[in-house]
């Protein structure tokens, strides 16, 4: 998110919700990829 989004982030609840939803959606994808890599490296962790 860029600084030009600052007014929307501070005053628009729907915009804030959408930004957080996208952030956590991307974070979930990254966590799943990390999990796959860890299990690939050390399969005994299941």
Q: What is the pLDDT of residue 6?
A: 77
Q: What is the pLDDT of residue 33?
A: 97
Q: Is the dihedral of CA 31, 35, 36, 40 positive or negative?
A: positive
Tally of domains within the chain = 1
Is residue 9 within 8 Å of residue 19, measured between CB atoms?
A: yes
Q: What is the pLDDT of residue 46?
A: 61
Q: What is the pLDDT of residue 32?
A: 98
Owning domain of residue 21: 5-44
pLDDT under 50 in the chain at which residues? none
């Amino acid at each position: 998110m860029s600084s030009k989004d600052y007014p929307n982030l501070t005053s628009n609840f729907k915009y804030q919700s959408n930004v957080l939803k996208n952030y956590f959606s991307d974070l979930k994808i990254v966590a799943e990829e990390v999990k796959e890599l860890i299990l690939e490296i050390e399969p005994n962790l299941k």
